[in-house]
Structure 1
Amino acid sequence: MFDFTDPVLLARAQFAFTMAFHIVFPAFSIGLASYLAVLEGLWLATKREVYLDLFKYWLKIFAVAFAMGVVSGVTMSYQFGTNWSVFSDKAGPIVGPLMAYEVLSAFFLEAGFLGVMLFGMRKVGPALHYLATLLVALGTLFSAFWILSVNSWMQTPAGFAVNAAGQFVPTDWWAIVFSPSFPYRLVHMVLAAYLTTALVVGGVAAWHLLRARRDTLGFGMEGARVMFSMAMGMVLVTAPLQIAAGDMHGLNTLEHQPAKVMAMEGHFQSHPDGAPLLLFGLPDQEAATVRYKLEIPKLSSLILKHDLNAPLAGLDTIRRQDWPSVPIVFWSFRIMVGLGFLMLGLGAVSLVARLKRRLYEWRPLHLYALVMGPAGFIAVLAGWVTTEVGRQPFTVYGQLRTVESVSPLAAPAVGSSLAAFAVIYLLVFAAGAFYILRLMSEPPKHGESGPAADEPTRTAGIAPGPAQSPLTLTAGE
């Protein structure tokens, strides 16, 4: 039961609420920035106008998603000073510089070249504009690098000492930045961003292919077909890589955060001669058991130790006060893994359709892709819940407990700000999501309007006419 009188629980709920809204936008914008760079590069290399029109089609969507990501990220940072001031004081000497590096190297890069990317193709020329697009894409990856470095240090802290005031102070910045879990988590998150974007692009393309008549041969359908082909190719390549990266990340987590893996697997008891893989069940944390479980004997030992008979420790080897919330971690992990295998299946089905030359005509595949359109966002949220709830009851794993990190605030103060965040976020982000869906509902067209009144040239040296766009800005605005 949710205790509305517990300020610690309310502070956690507020951060979780704002973070859940925020994380979907970086996950989308990281992949979409790279996709835009690929589209513009293909246009420059081939001069096929379909790539330029797709670039401008997705550029409008990227601009809105990027802005919403920035806005939601700013409000999150204030909570470190309001709800988590003790954590900020104790971990600030390490977390503060890392977040500053993200602003200096990533946000400045993105902000500095975003305007050129959105409005400058005709002003700076195709080559320099492409450089700006590449730098924005690189900036999104830098941002992921530093944010994941911060979070990975909190998951697997290294390279620090504790001073007389109880603060974590750096002793080895290389060990801090490249903490034991960081490489695995960075690869896992970037692949998740690319998969999320590929599924959205594939879902949008599938929507337009399903709406089109079979005899439609217009440019709009050419754009939808190009999008669908590229998206399905990306899913085909990225989904198995993500599953492999997830497996390596799981092995790393078993080494450094065993309680999290025990909760993911539902292992309340130790298994000295091979642990089963629990497919489904209802974890009962109070009774320390999983009820109504469906399991495959010894498979968990095979996956985690590559040996059917390898012993695996359970939560019975860990103090109960150090257990995470097993039901939440258990089910969020299964949602993430289940969606991962559905993505793998989508890639495999698209490969069969491509080999049979029915990629653009096979309606069941298009329905499959359409349904899977939001799956990347759900998987990212499920993975984030698994990671963060599995770290509990610590903010800095094994070093600083969550109850020791919160600001000395009364429950009404935290609850009122949580209610305000909920109302504002639901209104603002519902409007933003509605606008993005409206942009997606229209197919890419020949002569697609860009986000600026100064339309980019369609081919080198040829200036087009004026454009109309919902994101048009005039001089002086």
Structure 2
Amino acid sequence: MLHGFDPIILARAQFAFTMSFHIIFPAFSIGLASFLMVLEARWLWTGRDVYLNLFKYWLKIFSVAFGMGVVSGVVMSYQFGTNWSVYADKTGPVLGPMMAYEVLSAFFLEAGFLGVMLFGMGRVGKPLHFAATCLVATGTLFSAFWILSVNSWMQTPQGYAINDVGQFIPVDWWKVIFNPSFPFRLVHMVIAAYLTTSLVVGGVAAFHLLRDRFNEEARTMFSMAMWMAALVAPIQILAGDAHGLNTLEHQPAKVMAMEGHYTSHPDGAPLILFGIPNQAEGRVDYAIQIPKVSSLVLKHDLNAPLAGLDTIPRENWPPVPIVFWSFRIMVGLGFLMLFLGLSSLYARWKGVLYEAKWLHRYALAMGPAGFVAVLAGWITTEVGRQPFTVFGLLRTTQSVSPLAAPAVGSSLIAFVIVYFLVYAAGLTIIARLMATAPHKGEEGPAHGQPTRSAGITPASAIGPTTALAGE
């Protein structure tokens, strides 16, 4: 049945499918770990039980989300050895040690202190428990550091040499780790994680405020989430702009695809708002555009020339329609997040932050927006790198394992079935936890109180991962 399919397409589809399920959990757990750290810090500082209640409430959700991220991360490593063994062999001397550093730093912190964070409250002193929470949050950031360094090296490789058998070998670890796109990608992803978490927290709080606007815990977390959205959304837009300029310098074809610039514009390029990219004809049909604004955004000059894909061999073009639309989804959601933050500031100024149902409904609708934006950003980054796994050096067709289509297709079908069953169960648990209103009687052991079951599922950690090779 699968003999007529291209095994490369199936391998890429399998990675894209599993990666799409995986990336949303690290994006959430990175931000949620830091949120838990802030909640516990504020409880210790103020002594207010509302922060302790919220800590216990979100700790349950964190444990499930973190465990699902860990399990799905294992699958990513599995695929490198099965579908992408040639890629793993050629890049292993560079990427292998960096993945090991992620385990040695992030894994040790997370696995070593996660149990204390989940089950230690009431069993250890307040300083030790808070230290464990801080170290788990730090571990998630270390994990993001190393994984994004790996991914960034694949986008902008530096500090390497190629040996006699075609393997990439490191010659300057500083350049390998801190490659040109890494600082921009790290800042952009970490802010995205914080923004994603703030939208989820704000959406859950809004849901409960619509049912009971006097719920103190819901009011507190809604206020905290809206402050984060108001402060971080504009910063993310600026960080995204800086990241885009860096991408223009090092991966111009990706930016050309994002902008829909099939042809060069010597006297200023238009900003194409919408249209239908025509890959075969090399144009954007039915384009709605603003003259010269793209040059203003990318070069800060209305009349600055911008090269198009007509300056690049067609065999090196990325799939423009996918990149074009995923980029617009990400940017559009970014501006909706900004408007949410500004709306919350207006409601706070008017003194109706907890009474404005229109704002609560807006925040509830935006709850999943961070996940969609993260997925759209990942698609833009990884599909925009095509047709390469290591940009400009190793093509996707040269990276795949010598497998037949039935072997890859059968594992893809198995993954689809298992993922929908397992993740449906996990997401159902998370949704039920979120649907339960936080209150002063929140279960879970408090310092100096008898220990009671908090309903927390144990999770072993190997460190959450983000996008590696989007093929």
TM-score, structure 2 as length reference = 0.96
Residue identity matched to 2:274: F
Q: Secondary structure at the match of 2:384?
A: helix
Q: Which residue of 1 aligns with 2:313?
A: 319
Measure how far apart 1:456 and its partner are. 2.4
The aligned amino acid for 2:446 is: P
Q: Percent identity?
A: 72
Classify 1:411/1:326 alpha carbon distance in 2 versus 1 (closer, same or farther; 3 Å).
same
- Give 1:4 shift: 6.0
Letter in 1 for 2:240: G
TM-score normalised by length of structure 1: 0.95
Which residue does the alignment assign to 2:341? 347
RCO higher in 1 or 2 (8 Å CA, sep ≥ 6)? 2
Partner of 2:240: 246
Partner letter of residue 420 of structure 1?
Answer: A
Instruction: Find the residue that maps to 2:122 and give its secondary structure.
Output: helix
- The match for 1:389 among 369, 383, 386 is 383
Alignment of 1:19 with 2:9, yes or no, is: no
Return the offset for 1:121.
Answer: 1.9
CA shift at 1:466, angstroms? 4.6
Aligned to 1:124: 124
In the other structure, the counterpart of 2:144 is 144
Classify 1:117/1:327 alpha carbon distance in 2 versus 1 (closer, same or farther; 3 Å).
same
Once the 2 structures are TM-superposed, how far is the Cα of residue 222 of structure 1 from its aligned partner? 0.2
Which residues of 2 match residues 250-329 of structure 1 at below 5 A?
A: 250-329=244-323
What is the match of residue 49 of structure 2?
A: 49
Aligned-residue offset at 1:356: 0.5
Q: Which residue in the other structure is 1:164 paired with?
A: 164
Alignment of 1:191-270 (within 5 A): 191-212=191-212, 217=214, 221-270=215-264
How much does 1:447 deviate?
2.8
| 1:36 alignment partner in structure 2 | 36
Residue matched to 1:72: 72
Tell me the equivalent position of 1:423: 417
The yes-or-no answer on 1:106 pairing with 2:106 is: yes
- The AA in structure 2 aligned to 1:467 is R
Task: State yes or no: 1:469 paired with 2:454.
Answer: yes
Indicate the SS of the match to 2:123: helix
Change in CA separation of 1:158 and 1:472 when aligned onto 2, cut-off 3 Å: closer
- Aligned equivalent of 2:93: 93
Q: Distance in 2 between matches of 1:9 and 1:40?
A: 47
Alpha-carbon contact 2:3-2:405 (below 8 Å) kept: no
Residue 122 of structure 1 and its aligned partner are, at CA, apart by: 1.7
Query: Which amino acid counterpart does residue 145 of structure 2 have in structure 1?
Result: F
- Report the residue type matching 2:261 in the other structure: H
Q: Mark the CA change 1:3 to 1:191 in structure 2 (over 3 Å): closer, same or farther.
A: farther
CA RMSD of aligned residues (A): 1.2
Q: Which of 456, 462, 466 is the matching residue for 2:446?
A: 456
1:45-83 per-residue CA deviation (whole Å, 9 max, x = no partner) reads 000000000000000000000000000000110111100
2:436 corresponds to: 442
Residues 122 and 449, structure 2, Cα contact 8 Å, conserved in 1: no
Mapped to 1, the partners of 2:32 and 2:456 lie a distance apart of 18
Offset of residue 159 of structure 1:
0.2
The residue type paired with residue 326 of structure 2 is S
The 1-side partners of 2:4 and 2:139 are apart by: 40
Deviation at 1:465, TM superposition (A): 4.0
Aligned partners of 1:401, 1:468: CA distance in 2, in Å? Answer: 52
Gaps of 5+ in 1: 458-462
SS in 2 for 1:150: helix
Contact 2:163 2:169 survives alignment (8 Å)? yes
Look up the SS of the partner of 1:5 in the other structure.
Answer: coil
Deviation at 1:464, TM superposition (A): 2.5
Partner of 2:467: none
**Partner SS state of residue 391, structure 1:** coil
**Secondary structure, counterpart of 2:367 in structure 1:** coil
Q: Deviations over 1:321-362 (max 9, x none)?
A: 000000000000000000000000000000000001100000
Instruction: Report if aligned partners of 2:64, 2:457 keep a CA contact under 8 Å in 1.
Output: no
* Structure 1 residues 342 and 113: CA distance shift in structure 2, 3 A: same
Partner of 1:460: none
- The residue identity in structure 2 corresponding to 1:390 is G
1:67 maps to a residue whose letter is G
Contact 1:3 1:9 in 2 (8 A): no
Q: Is the 8 A contact 2:260 2:324 kept in 1?
A: yes
Shift in Å at residue 124 of structure 1? 1.6
Distance 1:468 1:29 in 2: 22
Unaligned runs of 5+ in 2: 459-471
Paired amino acid for 1:322 = N
Rounded Cα–Cα distance in structure 2 between residues aligned with 1:413 and 1:468: 45
- Are 1:4 and 1:415, in contact at CA under 8 Å, matched by a contact in 2? no
What letter is aligned with 1:284?
A: N
Alpha-carbon distance in structure 2 between the residues aligned to 1:468 and 1:67: 18
- Give the whole-Å Cα distance in 1 for the aligned partners of 2:433 and 2:452: 16
Instruction: Kindly provide the CA deviation profile for residues 136-195 of structure 1, in whole angstroms up to 9, marking residues without a partner as x.
Output: 000000000000000000000000000000000000000000000000000000000000
Moved more, 122-131 or 383-392: 122-131
The residue type paired with residue 448 of structure 1 is E
Q: Per-residue deviation at 1:470?
A: 2.7
Residues of 2 paired with 1:247 and 1:395: CA distance? Answer: 24
Report the 3-state secondary structure (helix = DSSP H, G, I; strand = E; otherwise coil) of the residue aligned with 1:446: coil
Rate the CA distance shift 1:472–1:23 in 2: closer, same or farther, 3 A.
closer
Contact preservation (8 Å) 2:122, 2:450 = no
